Chains A and B, each alone.
Chain A
């Protein structure tokens, strides 16, 4: 079983749609959680950190459920510019700060 699992997609949605991505992680010692965004053939960039109480940044909302070892990302009012691959990332805190990446979920927003 992979340490971080995501639905690879692709998710094809129209502009203005709401889309949700899910991610599960297997290591209960995981301490920090992130969503990164990666555009085609570019480097990953941090989209947002994920906090236990859940957090929102504009149209983006991240949730964490430690009991279920589950992370989610909700994108409201999708824009064409949201088209990218979204990476779920987990830090296993007792391993010197290594990040474990999911394989990514591809999103394509169409006009």
Chain B
């Protein structure tokens, strides 16, 4: 039981490049989330998927797209990376909605130059 896994752990991109961050959970959770964390800003929700087949925007969705591939997997895509997207990205999952504990992956540290 690996919990929530994320790949890659580290990534450096040049401005304008694209990439996809992968997230998978093996806890049979319904809801999955993508956050970014910047110094002094706390965690901010980018997108979330309350259940398989649905996705919704969070607080800071601009410049990102997501895909809930199946119940286990939720990917985050940067189509044209910008330096403002330099951040630590966390994926999380929970049983159902926000009333329960969210389990986080180890994070992806992304630098855009």
Contacts and interface: CB of A to CB of B under 8 A. Distances in A.
Contacts of A103: 40-42
A34 B50 CA distance: 19
Contacts, number: 62
Interface in A37-85: 41-46, 49
A24 to B, nearest CB: 14
Interface string B86-100: 000010001011110
A54 to B, nearest CB: 18
A32 B105 CA distance: 22
A42 B106 contact: yes
Contacts of A108: none
Interface residues of B, number: 25
A87 B43 contact: yes
A76 B8 CA distance: 39
Contacts of B104: 43-45
B53 to A, nearest CB: 14
B96 A97 contact: yes
Counting chain A CB atoms within 10 Å of each CB, which of B33, B42, B101, B106 scores highest?
Answer: B42
Grouping DSSP codes into helix (H, G, I), strand (E, B) and loop, the A interface class, with mixed when no group exceeds half, is strand
B45 interface: yes
Contacts of A97: 31, 48, 50, 94, 96-99
Interface in B71-113: 90, 94, 96-99, 101-102, 104-107
B42 A87 contact: yes
A39 to B, nearest CB: 12
Contacts of B90: 43-44
Interface of B: 31, 33, 35, 40-45, 48, 50, 56, 58, 90, 94, 96-99, 101-102, 104-107
